[in-house]
Structures are given as structure tokens and as C-alpha cells.
């Protein structure tokens, strides 16, 4: 089946730094979603992308739908302590029925 | 507007018992999805219900089952619990049909001893 890879698996950054993470696959996806999960809670939707090349921002977060439709990127500018958590990407499968989730990128922000 | 709600928050069971987890979707959403998230791992798709019917099932044994009620709330049942069933069980809801954005509830933490 279709699978997603996320990199890096985890990252430690200083408060105030910018962060980049990506989600890749060997398969084409038609919709990309980015979620953030705080410890012990459910994932919260950050950004949804629907067209190849689309660039969408949500406050300090910016995400892009890759031109090849096989990848997506999430950037966080000027990180703050509350950015700590696990960031998941999800892609809509070829049948347009199910979202496939990546394994997540764990972000830690050092003061 | 209320988000997705799940109950109970925590559930402790012993091996071999049955567990029942409940989910209420966002008002107007007719699709409900269940995911298992073992500690430190990603989301594994369990079940998808839409308009009262099971639409898709992940790679889990038959002892994981569920249903969706006429009010679109849903129940996940896990029979013959095993230690490795210990996980956070997440429910998500979306507008009808596949491909709609999913919104997650806070999860039920199931611990099997």
C-alpha cells in the first residue's frame, strides 16, 4: 500500500529558530494534511493542501504541496516552546477514500 | 461548536476482557474513523464508518470491531484483550464520504494489564 516517510524523525532546536520538515512518498497523493499532536492528546489540524504547488500559511506555519504530488513540506518560523509536539503529515490515497499518515516528526524546542 | 468527543478518557482492563470505547462526531459529520496509536508510534488506521456502514478496515484482527449508530456516534469494541492492545485510541470525524478532512478527538488511553 501507499506509505509516507517523514524526516527528520526528531529534531531539537533553539527557541526562535526556524524549522523545516518534510513528508515524502513514492506514490502520488491528491490532498496533503499537516497535524500537530501534543502529548496524550489527539492530533490537531494545522494546514490542508489541495493542489500541486499550493503554498498555504497559518500564522508562523507554512506548508507546500510538492509539484510532483509525492511530497509536502512544513516550515515553522521563529519557534516557541509551545511548538513542541509531534507533527504528522497525511496524504489522501489514490482512491480518494482514505488518508495515509506518516510516522511523525518529533519537535523539541530548547529555551 | 463542540469538537469530537471520546469516552472514557482512560480505561484499564485485564488481558482477555473486552473494552468498549465511544466517540461522538462533530455535528453534521457522518463519517467516523478509528485509529490506534501505540506509545511513541504513528497512527494505525482501524475502521471507517459512514452513514452507519463500515466502509473500510485496516489490517487488524476481527476481535477489533465497531458500529455506527443512527446519530452517527460510534463504538469501538476490542474483544479478548491482549497486552499489546495498550494504546491511545483516536477517533476522528469528517463530512460524508472519503477524502474529507478529518478532525480528531482527544483519545481514549487503554491500558491492558
The tens place of each residue's pLDDT in chain B, 113 residues long, gives 689 999 999 999 999 999 999 999 999 999 999 999 998 788 999 999 999 999 999 999 999 999 999 999 999 999 999 999 999 999 999 997 677 899 999 999 999 99
Task: Return the H-helix or E-strand segment holding A74.
Answer: strand A71-76
Answer yes or no: do B98 and A98 touch at CB < 8 A.
yes
User: Chain B contacts of A48, Cβ < 8 Å?
Assistant: 101
Using a CB-CB distance cutoff of 8 angstroms, which residues of chain B are in contact with residue A92? 99
Q: Could you tell me the pLDDT band of residue A2, with boundaries at 50, 70 and 90?
A: confident
Mean pLDDT of A4-16: 96
pLDDT higher than 90, residue A109 = yes
Eight-class DSSP state of A105: E
**Strands, E assignment, chain B:** 5-7, 10-13, 19-24, 31-37, 44-50, 53-57, 64-68, 74-78, 87-94, 103-104, 108-112
Say yes or no for a CB contact (<8 Å) between B101 and A43.
Answer: no
Residue B101 phi/psi, 5-degree rounding, is -60, 135
**Residue B106, min C-alpha distance to chain A (Å):** 4
DSSP letter, residue A99: E
Give per-residue pLDDT as tens, A24-70.
999 899 899 999 999 888 999 999 999 999 999 999 999 999 999 99
A and B: number of Cβ contacts within 8 A:
51
Mean of pLDDT values over A5-20: 96
pLDDT of residue B42: 85
Q: Judge whether A110 and A80 are in contact, CB under 8 Å.
A: no
Confidence of residue A7 (pLDDT cuts 50, 70, 90): very high
Contacts of residue B1, Cβ cutoff 8 Å, sequence gap at least 6: B26, B27
* Residue A88 pLDDT greater than 80, yes or no: yes
Is B48 in Cβ contact with A98 (below 8 Å)?
A: yes
Amino acid at each position: 500500500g501507499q506509505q509516507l516517510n517523514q524526516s527528520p524523525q526528531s529534531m531539537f532546536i533553539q527557541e526562535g529558530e526556524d524549522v523545516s520538515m518534510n513528508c515524502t512518498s513514492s506514490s502520488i497523493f491528491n490532498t496533503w494534511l499537516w497535524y500537530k499532536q501534543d502529548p496524550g492528546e489527539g492530533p490537531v489540524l494545522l494546514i490542508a493542501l489541495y493542489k500541486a504547488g499550493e503554498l498555504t500559511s497559518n500564522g508562523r506555519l507554512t506548508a507546500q504541496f510538492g509539484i510532483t504530488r509525492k511530497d509536502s513540506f512544513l516550515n515553522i518560523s521563529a519557534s516557541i516552546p509551545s511548538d513542541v509536539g509531534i507533527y504528522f503529515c497525511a496524504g489522501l490515497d489514490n482512491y480518494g477514500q482514505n488518508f495515509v499518515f506518516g510516522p511523525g516528526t518529533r519537535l523539541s524546542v530548547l529555551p | 461548536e463542540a469538537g469530537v468527543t471520546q469516552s472514557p478518557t482512560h480505561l484499564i482492563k485485564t488481558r482477555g476482557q473486552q473494552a468498549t470505547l465511544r466517540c461522538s462526531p462533530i455535528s453534521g459529520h457522518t463519517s467516523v474513523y478509528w485509529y490506534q496509536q501505540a506509545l511513541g508510534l504513528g497512527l494505525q488506521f482501524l475502521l471507517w464508518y459512514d452513514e452507519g456502514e463500515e466502509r473500510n478496515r485496516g489490517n487488524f484482527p476481527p476481535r477489533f470491531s465497531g458500529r455506527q449508530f443512527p446519530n452517527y456516534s460510534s463504538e469501538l469494541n476490542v474483544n479478548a484483550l491482549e497486552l499489546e492492545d495498550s494504546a491511545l485510541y483516536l477517533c476522528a470525524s469528517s463530512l460524508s464520504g472519503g477524502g474529507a478532512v478529518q478532525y480528531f478527538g482527544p483519545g481514549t488511553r487503554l491500558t491492558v494489564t
